[in-house]
């Protein structure tokens, strides 16, 4: 499978797999039907299956980047009680803000005989606040045995949570608060009092990033289906053939078709002066 290199806000360089029209369509449908859990499961299987240890910020950045590549850089927000009904925002501007972030380092906490490494969560969606807290655990060492939380199942994680001393919860809450204070909120769009537009921001230690991504991918589904219809009916092939390709490949092929039709029409004009 084709993939491409990408430098993340953390400074890590990874290779991100190309996604097909089938993947883009599935992500759109998860978002349109407001199935955030299904969305996270899908992107973990298709995009992040070989990158499980990426932080929520790096994963969010990749999803934004893919949105720009496959669906365009502009997103429209519907506004209420404003002088304008809609607000267009460039995702490239938001990507630049990501690139300026300084991610906090992991922290090692020792409680009784446990050495616990805390860091940014790797999940995109949290069912409960407890799930969010415990997502900050990156590894646990006991009796010189280190357990990496990115390599075990949720059931195994739960067993380890139950073994940790109760006073560790205070350390976990302290670390969570320190991350909130360090990271703050990423301002997606600045407040504009002239047009009565409120500031739009995202708190990384919450479900806000996932809901923001939902807005990004739930747009343009009608345009996507319209292009699929035009491609199949004009270029040829089946809908399955279209879904196996990437959207950029389809656009290039469609442009070949448009150029070929133009050449044919120009040739007909030369052969028949009355042809218009």
Structure tokens at 18: 């190309």
Structure tokens given for 253: 């092929």
Residue ranges per structural domain of the chain: 3-102+186-220, 107-183, 223-271
- pLDDT, residue 195, reads 63
Contacts of 239 (CB under 8 A, 6+ apart): 228, 232
* Structure confidence at residue 275 (pLDDT): 52
**What is the reported pLDDT for 30?**
93
Q: pLDDT in tens for each of the 276 residues of the chain?
A: 788 999 999 999 999 999 999 999 999 999 999 999 899 999 999 999 888 789 999 999 999 999 999 888 887 766 655 555 677 778 898 899 888 888 889 999 999 889 999 999 988 999 888 888 889 999 999 988 999 998 888 889 888 988 899 889 899 999 999 998 888 788 877 777 766 667 778 898 989 888 888 888 887 788 899 999 999 999 999 999 999 999 999 999 999 999 999 998 888 888 776 555
Decide: helix, strand or coil at residue 4: strand
pLDDT in the model for residue 150: 85
Axis crossing angle, helix 247-271 with helix 21-32, rounded to the nearest 10: 120
Q: DSSP of 31-91, one letter per residue?
A: HHTT-HHHHHHHHHHHTSTT-TT--HHHHHHHHHHHHHHHH-SEEEEE-SSSSSSEEEEEH
Strand partners, 133: none
C-alpha radius of gyration, the chain, whole number: 24
The model's pTM is 0.87
Q: Is 251 helix (H, G, I), strand (E, B) or coil?
A: helix
* pLDDT score, position 79: 62
């Amino acid at each position: 499978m084709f993939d491409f290199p990408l430098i993340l806000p953390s400074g890590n360089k990874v290779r991100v797999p190309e996604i097909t029209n089938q993947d883009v369509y599935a992500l759109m449908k998860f978002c349109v039907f407001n199935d955030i859990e299904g969305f996270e499961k899908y992107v973990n299987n298709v995009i992040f299956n070989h990158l499980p240890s990426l932080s929520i910020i790096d994963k969010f950045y990749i999803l934004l980047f893919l949105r720009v590549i496959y669906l365009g850089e502009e997103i429209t927000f519907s506004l209420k009680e404003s002088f304008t009904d809609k607000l267009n925002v460039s995702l490239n501007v938001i990507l630049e803000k990501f690139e300026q972030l300084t991610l906090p380092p992991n922290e090692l906490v020792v409680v009784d005989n446990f050495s616990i490494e805390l860091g940014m969560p790797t999940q995109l969606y949290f069912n409960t606040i407890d799930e969010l807290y415990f997502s900050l655990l990156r590894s646990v060492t006991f009796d010189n045995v280190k357990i990496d939380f990115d390599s075990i199942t949720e059931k195994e994680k739960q067993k380890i949570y139950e073994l940790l001393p109760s006073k560790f919860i205070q350390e976990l809450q302290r670390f969570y608060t320190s991350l909130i204070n360090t990271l703050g909120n990423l301002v997606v769009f600045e407040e504009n009092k002239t047009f009565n537009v409120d500031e739009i921001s995202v708190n990384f230690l919450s479900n806000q990033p996932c809901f923001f991504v939902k807005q990004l991918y739930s747009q343009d589904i009608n345009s996507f289906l319209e292009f699929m219809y035009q491609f199949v009916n004009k270029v040829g092939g089946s809908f399955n053939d279209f879904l196996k390709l990437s959207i950029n490949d389809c656009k290039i092929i469609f442009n070949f078709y448009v150029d070929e039709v133009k050449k044919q029409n120009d040739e007909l004009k030369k052969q028949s002066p009355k042809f218009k």
